[in-house]
Amino acid sequence: MIQISPETQLFIREHSSDDVRALALQAKKYPDIDMPTAITQIAGRQVAAEKIPSWREMEEIWYPKHLSLEQCSSETTARYKARLFQGDSLTDLTGGFGIDCSFLAAGFKSATYVERQEELCEIAAHNFPILNLNHINVRNEDGVAYLQTMSPVDCIFLDPARRNEHGGKTVAISDCEPDVAGLEELLLSKAKRIMVKLSPMLDLSLALKELKHTQEVHILSVNNECKELLLLLGQEAPTEQAPPEEIPIRCANLFTKGAQEEQHFAFTREQEQHSQCTYTDSLGDYLYEPNASLLKAGAFRSVAAAYSVRKLHPNSHLYTSDTFIGNFPGRIFRIVNQCSFNRKEAKESLADLKKANVTVRNFPATVAELRKRLHLTEGGDTYLFASTLNDGRKVIIRCEKV
């Protein structure tokens, strides 16, 4: 049973911005303080300040140990998921710290949080009322066991964990716990809609083959870093279900800094296959780099067709245009000049540069090798893209960000 004494609570408030490693070494100075608990809570608050900013000022919130907090969703992605799911009743079968459940539950009249770790259940039961989420029922049970006996609900959410504990690449849903593919029919007998949150490391094509009732795919990036792969399943009969190549894939790039607008792009694999894409031997005035969600989704031809940009090469996922296309879903650059990969020409063309942001796309050298060759350090306002044009020429493109 988690208990935090008034003395420890005061210590947590007074030291909320301190270095937790330094505090751990000073534990003997504070004999009346439960230092392990204090360090867990202080570290949690510091992570939450960035990851869950709306909870920042809520001093009563309890946080779990580091691993559970690192693995949970951010507020940014949780709010996005909450846009997709509403109804009367929700069950979250893999509750964890409860970030997703707390934001999803706001769109339902009743919700159930299921989690097999007792400590996480205690934390959730403590936090939900503080967040004014008194309609969430906390159940300390195994999610699969609960699923087998639960009453039907409108929606089910689950976030299966990757089984590979050594950080190895997991490409199949069957490599996750619980195995959603094996539970698909049972899940759909218990809810009209299912949302499955997966690691972006998973193979999307394989996931669509394994989960036969997928209706939509959402690929989420935050600040151009791919974070989540969401599959939305529904109860349509197999004869009514769209084939994998016709399932909508919705790419979203969300931002936590500045006033930048969200970037969205939607397509199907069929559209990608049939989209007209122009490849080019020459560069225009602008260079475009699709955001991380589009790159993960494989929207290479369809984005070129949608925005009338030319692709540098079938394997170079960079695009160019003569006129400025401000709503392109990715980073946009103005091209300053270009040079070949020839050592002498490159050094002469870039002689004035001491630092630059370097990216390689379909190029026979790594970023580190290119930096060494050009004697460049990281940073600054100049961007270099090393890539290949449609005629096979290797080029280094000097840009400024728009």
Number of H helices, E strands in the chain: 15, 18
Which of 243, 267, 291 terminates a domain? The answer is 267
Cα–Cα dist 394/259, whole Å: 36
Residue 18 and residue 140 share a domain: no
Enter the pTM of the model: 0.92
Residue 231 and residue 137 share a domain: yes
pLDDT in tens, 279-289: 999 999 999 99
Residue 285 and residue 191 share a domain: no
Q: Which domain holds residue 378?
A: 275-401
pLDDT of residue 236: 74
Has residue 119 got a pLDDT over 80?
yes
Parallel/antiparallel/unpaired status of strands 286-290 and 263-267: unpaired
Which of 41, 63, 85 terminates a domain? The answer is 63
Cα–Cα dist 357/384, whole Å: 6
Number of domains in the chain: 3
Neighbours of 145 (CB within 10 A): 11
Has residue 8 got a pLDDT over 80?
yes
Q: How confident is the model at residue 243 (pLDDT cuts 50, 70, 90)?
A: confident
1 lies in some domain: no
88 lies in some domain: yes
Q: What is the CATH number for 312?
A: 3.30.2130
pLDDT in tens, 60-97: 999 998 766 777 889 999 999 999 999 999 999 999 99
Cα–Cα dist 225/292, whole Å: 6
Residue 313 and residue 238 share a domain: no
Residue 307 and residue 168 share a domain: no
394 lies in some domain: yes
Which of 267, 284, 311 terminates a domain? The answer is 267
Residue 189 and residue 80 share a domain: yes
